[in-house]
Structure 1
Amino acid sequence: MWGEVSLFAGGWVLGMVTAVPLLRRRAPVTVAAPALPPVPVLPFAVQEAVTAFGEELARLPFDPTEPGTAPAVLKEYRAALDAYERGTSAGTPADVMAALHAGRAALIRMEARQAGRPVPIDALPRLPDAPQSDEGAPDGEPPPPVPERFVIRGTGNGEHLIDRPEPGRFALLEFRNQDAEYVRVEGVIRTEDLVDRDGALLTGTGHLRATSLLKPGLTHLAVGALRDGAGWSARVRPLTDASPLETEWRGTGYHVLSYGGGPALLTVQARGDTHWRAMFVCGCLRGWDCDCPPPRWPAGTPDSTDAVHGTADGRKTLRLPRAGYLDLSASDGGGEWYLTLQPVRPSPPPQRTRRKNARRSAA
């Protein structure tokens, strides 16, 4: 009996000894961590826009550590860097657009300060953002378009800062109206020193496609549309992109043409129930301060100033004294143009007569 008890006790102890290691080998009980929200993936075009802005900052010929740097210039540079950082960490296209807009505005102000030109300012403080949906756009609206330099897109009324390919110089404004409603675009000067409106650059109804001359001093575009949701876009291009004026040219609405010849007469024929104007801009681009010498027009050449205009159907002649640009405007974007160019050979300068020597030689 005691032998049986010993065997039983020995087996129980052996079982416990072998069970303990088995218990120790069991995996510890773990609690699953909560799932992290997915990282938002921005469209590739939006990521490219941020990268392009970063490369633009890297190409700036500016050294913030250079002695004598104006504090105001350094402040704008830092604002551009901060905007780039916000753009790289933004989670929605709308946030990226807001960051890039702020960054480009800082660069425009920075360049103006460095060049000694008037510094543009914002029209009004920004309003709070509209409620955002999961896609990052206001509820019920499509996501905002990808930002593109020198292009302004909007809907309805608003005032927008102008970014120029050649700051401080004339430029071309290409405007596209995507709505059938009436639209009016005005040039605005809004700087730290002056706020003024320069008048209408163009007006039109329907799907307007117009090109207008953009003066150097204009800093903003004021767009007025009858319908709040009317879509439009504007692109700023160098003046050298203007289409050439050929011997004959036909078109409608607003246009800017380049002229590279010598003295000529331009016959302007306009058709349509609208007010129209054809204006010559000298190639020196100094406007009213132009002091380029005029050619010697032959006798009988039709006289004209720098511009001709009319209402409804009309035919007038405009002198083109030298190379420059032709700015054509027709209110409401209507009217038809037919231009014909005729070179003119200037009159030769008058011959100088030699004065006879009043002194007689001594006999």
Structure 2
Amino acid sequence: MSRETISQSISVVHPISLSHGRNAEVWDTTGKRYIDFVGGIGVLNLGHCHPAVVEAIRDQATQLTHYAFNAAPHRPYIELMDRLTAFIPVDYPVSGMLTNSGAEAAENALKIVRGATGRSAVIAFDGAFHGRTLATLNLNGKVAPYKQKVGVLPGPVYHLPYPSADNGVTCAEALKAMDRLFSVEIDVNDVACFIIEPVQGEGGFLALDIEFAQALRRFCDEKNILLIADEIQSGFGRTGQRFAFSRLGIEPDLILLGKSIAGGVPLGAVVGRQALMDNLPKGGLGGTYSGNPIACAAALATLEVMTDAHLQVWGAQQEAAIISRYERWRAQRLSPYLGRLTGVGAMRGIELAQADGTPAPQQLTQLLGLARAAGLLLMPSGKSRHIIRLLAPLTIEPAVLEEGLDILQACLKQLD
């Protein structure tokens, strides 16, 4: 199968061609089976081709395949927004808009906060990833490969250290850096918002320090700055809760959604305080495909399945299996490159590091190939591309999860 017509600027982790999938298993065009610990990079919390999602897509496709909501509203969009805003665990009135992706949600959030505050500066964090569109590039806390060769980016954007027990940056260190930022770099009164991931995805599955999150919420309230939580990868049950910000004891002003919102169909959203969402003039928000009826139907089916009881059980089971296996590997000294276990809930990363603690990206690249040959798909992350992202569907069968961990165990032993 020729790939000459596909831009070579698109990076591919696994040089295979997939044919079909079922829950946590996929098959390539040669018939080879793989256990999927990538999950479409966090899109498939309910697995491949979940029956309820497939049925909803088929049913909607016989009724209305598309209509632009800003031309004429349609029932799936209205029903989804009712369900989605009720699904957001905050105490204030919520409204929102649907988008085509997480990056588009972030772009629209920037417009919303500018309209609400009259300010333009944004504070993001080292290691962050918020998308590949032009404005979101500047929010990302990593230059290569996202910001290379694209010139001046929309701003102003400033970055702070991301405090987490997973990277050794303390709350005190992050607050000190924030104090310096507002003393040296920018007037705090020019800042529209902070944007932060409750658990960094691309950054290596780093869980945000709770003390810092609460200090940041207080600071934003004192300075009339808005707080955006990017839950695109950490949301919809990945940490065992509906959204990861709940473990922090805070309520953000705006929340970015995407990835697992619609069971594999492209969809995103910005939701938050109603007054913020309504502040732009009529026509200031919208889009031709945003909230496509089929995507909305898939999202409605996804929310129907994602009950709190299901999320807690799925998250706890997967978390327990990963932690148990990791602790056994550490006790056995399975590999000299086995580093820290990062993240929270079922959103876990395994670091590969040298004996002195420095990253081991070459070993991770070797691991990707070994695991793929053995029938397991893995995804890298981290500043140095040295942390394995574990993103198996939450619905993975226990036996399949154990089989995947067995393969990972055998491959870790082979690293040199």
Q: Which has the higher contact order (CA 8 A, sep 6+)?
A: 2
Fold conserved between structures, TM > 0.5: no
Q: Which has the higher strand share?
A: 1
More helix by share: 2
Normalising by the residue count of structure 2, what TM-score does the alignment of the two structures yield?
Answer: 0.21
Structure whose CA Rg is larger: 1
